């Protein structure tokens, strides 16, 4: 399960600089995880070169695209409500075309054209380069669909337009797809098998971002620790690679070190990790380089071995705890965050207590917590009865959330009296007289503006906190400037 982007960004329409020669208008919304928002930047880049400027006014659009998420039923219901809104606009602008992109498009395929009569185009995550051809089909009056999943496509040759960016931080995609067949997850069915992007194209994209003044990147993938480049192709086919390909292959610790060395004044984050694929070598790279942020998002989903097996998580409770011990030993200052599912099929009170006890063992800095939502097409959806009552799910989820809140307070209080490095990203939500940024551990820090500016790295002495925010005063620039 991928964590979603900040709720405030869900459904935000995207805009980029206009090209005088472009005559058509594109309105594009994104929902779901960071990968979807990154993909929307790729789509906008492709369409910018095919006659479209973006607009934030839905009513004036020639083409409306919604990049969708299938991770939970709630996400899909949100999309259907947005389609109702588009339908209302289309009554007054009948030439407007509507397309659905992303995971929901891949899951429903042709059904979308049948169920949602206003949808003209259905495009899966690996078919964005086909958009000009699909649009030509639509212009001819035909419905258009391409949901073919690719063994090769990584969009490494597309330079994304930075739609969501503050000019300071950016997402850089390094892998696509996932080979981990967790029984609750639609990602392997909507994004295909795992393949990695060519390292030099990643380095070139980061160089371009550096040249444009960006200060922080997040290396992005469904499972970044599984990154493996050996000349192209699926990860599962690495066993058939030549001896030369194996000898010159690049895995995640190699890539992370390449980026850290090449861009010593740029902050590096990565997401998302998978416990069985995170090797100790990666932890030593993180510890070695000060520009690699000391935060690891390590989804566990449950603390019960029985439930982990039902989920096909490929790691046990004990293996996960051993990995946590290694992180705390090798990178003692690292924060750790989680994904957790409450009420998976057959979950008992004993299983739930195992989850709470695991949380007590780790004491996560923050997390993303959900009650189980059956997803059609997944193994759990096909083979398991959703047998935990909704009120039981809600109660267990609340207990998980309450415990996480307690641990978040404890982790925040550990920073009081310490000085942390902060990259200033924006104004504080609550006051225009304060800046907001994150420390290396990905915890929000708020402090008075003084004479600093957005994009500066500053040292901030922490004086107080809430469960999710550190408050302090800047004491000077950091060495990262």
For residue 150, pLDDT beyond 70: no
Tokens found for residue 401: 């959330």
User: Which has more pLDDT, 327 or 481?
Assistant: 327
pLDDT (0 to 100) of residue 2: 40
Q: How far apart are CA 208 and CA 224, in angstroms?
A: 21
Residue 160 has pLDDT above 80, yes or no: no
Q: Which of 6-10, 145-149, 156-160, 286-290 has the lowest mean pLDDT?
A: 6-10
**Span 222-264, pLDDT tens digits:** 889 999 999 988 888 999 999 999 999 999 999 999 999 999 9
As a whole number of angstroms, the distance between CA 161 and CA 212 comes to 12
* Cβ(261)–Cβ(286) below 8 Å: no
User: Per-residue pLDDT tens for 283-321?
Assistant: 999 999 999 999 999 999 999 999 999 999 999 999 999
DSSP labels, 239-297? GGS-HHHHHT-EEHHHHHHHHHHH-TTSEEEEE---GGG--HHHHHHHHH-TTB-SEEE
Q: State both tokens at 328.
A: 């705390």
Q: Residue 337 has which token pair?
A: 């965050």
User: Would you place residue 1 in the very low, low, confident or very high pLDDT band (cuts 50, 70, 90)?
Assistant: very low
Give the span between the Cα atoms of 390 and 67, in whole angstroms: 29
Structure tokens at 121: 């185009």
Q: For residue 470, what pLDDT is reported?
A: 97
Model pTM score: 0.76
Helix (H, G, I), strand (E, B) or coil at 24: strand
| Confidence category of residue 5, pLDDT binned at 50, 70, 90 | very low
Averaged pLDDT, 38-58:
88
Nearest to 220 by CA among 448, 408, 399, 5: 5
């Amino acid at each position: 399960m991928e964590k979603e982007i900040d709720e405030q960004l869900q459904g935000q329409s995207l805009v980029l600089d206009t090209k005088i020669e472009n005559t058509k208008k594109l309105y594009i919304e994104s929902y779901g995880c960071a990968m979807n928002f990154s993909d929307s930047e790729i789509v906008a880049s492709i369409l910018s070169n095919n006659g479209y400027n973006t607009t934030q006014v839905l009513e004036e659009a020639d083409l409306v695209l919604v990049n969708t998420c299938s991770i939970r039923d709630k996400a899909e219901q949100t999309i259907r409500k947005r389609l109702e809104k588009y339908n209302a606009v289309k009554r007054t602008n009948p030439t407007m075309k509507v397309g659905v992109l992303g995971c929901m498009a891949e899951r429903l395929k042709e059904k979308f054209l049948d169920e949602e009569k206003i949808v003209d185009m259905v495009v899966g995550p690996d078919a964005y380069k086909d958009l000009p051809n699909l649009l030509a089909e639509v212009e001819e009056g035909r419905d258009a669909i391409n949901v073919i999943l690719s063994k090769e496509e990584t969009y490494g040759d597309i330079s994304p337009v930075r739609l969501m960016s503050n000019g300071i931080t950016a997402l850089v995609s390094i892998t696509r797809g996932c080979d981990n067949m967790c029984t609750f997850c639609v990602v392997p069915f909507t994004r295909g098998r795992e393949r990695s992007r060519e390292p030099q194209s990643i380095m070139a994209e980061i160089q371009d971002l550096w040249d444009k003044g960006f200060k922080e990147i997040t290396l992005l993938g469904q499972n970044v620790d599984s990154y493996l480049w050996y000349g192209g192709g699926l990860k599962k086919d690495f066993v058939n690679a030549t001896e030369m390909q194996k000898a010159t292959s690049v895995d995640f610790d190699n890539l992370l070190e390449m980026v850290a060395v090449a861009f010593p004044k740029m902050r590096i984050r990565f997401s998302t990790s998978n416990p069985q694929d995170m090797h100790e070598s990666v932890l030593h790279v993180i510890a070695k380089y000060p520009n690699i942020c000391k935060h690891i998002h390590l989804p566990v989903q449950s603390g019960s071995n029985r439930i982990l097996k039902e989920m096909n998580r490929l790691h046990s409770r004990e293996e996960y705890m051993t990995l946590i011990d290694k992180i705390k030993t090798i990178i003692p200052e690292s924060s750790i965050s989680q994904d957790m599912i409450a009420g998976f099929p057959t979950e008992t009170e004993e299983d739930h207590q195992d989850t709470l006890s695991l949380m007590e063992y780790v004491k996560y800095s923050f997390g993303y917590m959900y009650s189980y939502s059956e997803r059609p097409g997944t193994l759990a959806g096909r083979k398991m009865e959703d047998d935990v009552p909704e009120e039981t799910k809600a109660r267990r989820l609340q207990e998980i959330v309450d415990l996480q809140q307690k641990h978040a307070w404890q982790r925040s209080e550990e920073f009081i009296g310490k000085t942390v490095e902060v990259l200033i990203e924006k104004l504080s939500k609550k006051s225009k007289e304060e800046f907001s940024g994150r420390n290396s551990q990905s915890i929000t820090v708020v402090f008075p503006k003084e004479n600093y500016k957005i994009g500066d790295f500053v040292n901030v002495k922490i004086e107080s906190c809430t469960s999710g925010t550190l408050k302090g005063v800047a004491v000077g620039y950091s060495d990262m400037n």
